[in-house]
Amino acid sequence: MFRNLKPVGRILYGRNSFDQLGDVLGELRIEKDSFVLFLVDEYFDGKDFLKRIPVQEQDILKIIDITDEPKTKTVDAMVAEIKGLGKGNPVSVVGIGGGSVMDYAKAIRLMFTNEGSSVLYQGLDFIKNKGIHCTVIPTISGTGAEVSMTTVLTGPLKKLGIKGNFTAADQLVLDPELISTVPEPQRFYTAMDCYIHNIEALNGYRRTQMGDSLGQESLRIFRDIYLGNDSRSPENEEKLMIASYLGGLSLTYSEVGACHAMSYGLATVTDIHHGVGNCIVFNQLEEFYPEGVKEFKEMMRINNIDIPHGVTAGCTPEEIDKMIDVSLTLVFMWAHVCGPDWQKIITRDKLRGLYMKM
């Protein structure tokens, strides 16, 4: 049985294409009281950029705290708050920011039309009803959240994506100008999420020609940016945005691997953000991705990046066990890395040894 995949609806692309957002949303504002829910990364709080967002009087704009990774309880609280206003449902939920804000938008839009807590829907194909329209606009590139069918959420028991037929966004705006002010090292860490997606997608049992083609092109562009001598030129901003898009798309036709399986475990206990968490984990995965890790270290050297070390040094044995528990729930990822008999290779002791090195 093949899945009939839907990565994303429409794509508005080009430098300063963001200025057309008002027209795009205008097509959805059919009723007089139609309103849009804007979710904006806290990075823009108080900045002039807020004035460029086409907010109308009846709309709601929320600044999103991204100190922690997206949480099910925040999704539930936001939906309850908006429903409680008695205005009906928004005509679009617009996420402007990084992977966390885009994932919040993709999750919140689903919970207007699916009953109960978002915790009930973590996993594959639990969402039954189409959500309301969702627009995502990346202002930092690498996560692939702009195109992926997964919205990653941390719940009380697990960090796991909601993934299914209705989970991808309907509208994407790719404006390279928007990522030009991202500070380092966040830009590097988030960009590396894209690199790691490609390395993982291209090395494993669930590879496909479609996934490989997209992943290889993303990787080619990515090497241009990060093995060159000016990763922040305007040309490279645009390339990074496209590499992220193609890398995210390649995952739709393949799977992430060992780094994501372990970084989800790390994040559950430490709340370390996805991009930097991936870098901390990937740095220890020569055994799985020897060439990729070597190249990653070269990219860090060229770009003067030093990742955090000793992040698990203060963890208790119970906390390390919790990381291992979470990692071992990600059976699709491990099966992609090691094949159907992955449990013979990926033992608790192996994972403990790797976590202790981070």
* Minimal distance, residue 339 CB to Fe ion, in Å: 22
* Minimal distance, residue 99 CB to Fe ion, in Å: 7
Instruction: For Fe ion, give the closer residue by CB, 170 or 193.
Output: 193
* Minimal distance, residue 175 CB to Fe ion, in Å: 22
Who's near 263: CB < 8 A, 6+ residues apart? 274, 277, 278, 280, 281
> What sections of 164-233 are H helices per DSSP?
186-201, 209-226
* Minimal distance, residue 264 CB to Fe ion, in Å: 9
Instruction: For Fe ion, give the closer residue by CB, 70 or 90.
Output: 70
- Binders of Fe ion among 180-199, rule CB under 5 A? 193
CA 61/CA 53 separation, integer angstroms: 10
Q: Is the dihedral of CA 140, 141, 142, 145 positive or negative?
A: positive
SS3 34: coil
Who's near 50: CB < 8 A, 6+ residues apart? 40, 44, 61
Q: Total binding residues for Fe ion by CB under 5 A?
A: 1
Instruction: For Fe ion, give the closer residue by CB, 38 or 282.
Output: 282
Instruction: For Fe ion, give the closer residue by CB, 38 or 189.
Output: 189
CA 71/CA 315 separation, integer angstroms: 22
State the DSSP H helix or E strand holding residue 269, giving kind and residue range, or none if neither.
helix 258-270
Q: Which residue is nearest to Fe ion (CB)?
A: 193
Instruction: For Fe ion, give the closer residue by CB, 18 or 282.
Output: 282
Instruction: For Fe ion, give the closer residue by CB, 59 or 193.
Output: 193
Instruction: For Fe ion, give the closer residue by CB, 114 or 148.
Output: 148
Binding pattern to Fe ion, positions 93-132, x when CB under 5 A? ----------------------------------------
Radius of gyration of the chain (CA): 20
* Minimal distance, residue 193 CB to Fe ion, in Å: 4
- Binders of Fe ion among 126-145, rule CB under 5 A? none
Phi, psi angles (nearest 5°) of residue 94: -110, 115
* Minimal distance, residue 30 CB to Fe ion, in Å: 36
* Minimal distance, residue 199 CB to Fe ion, in Å: 11
Please, are residues 267 and 99 in contact by the beta-carbon 8 Å criterion?
no
CA 264/CA 234 separation, integer angstroms: 32
- Positions touching Fe ion (CB under 5 A) are 193
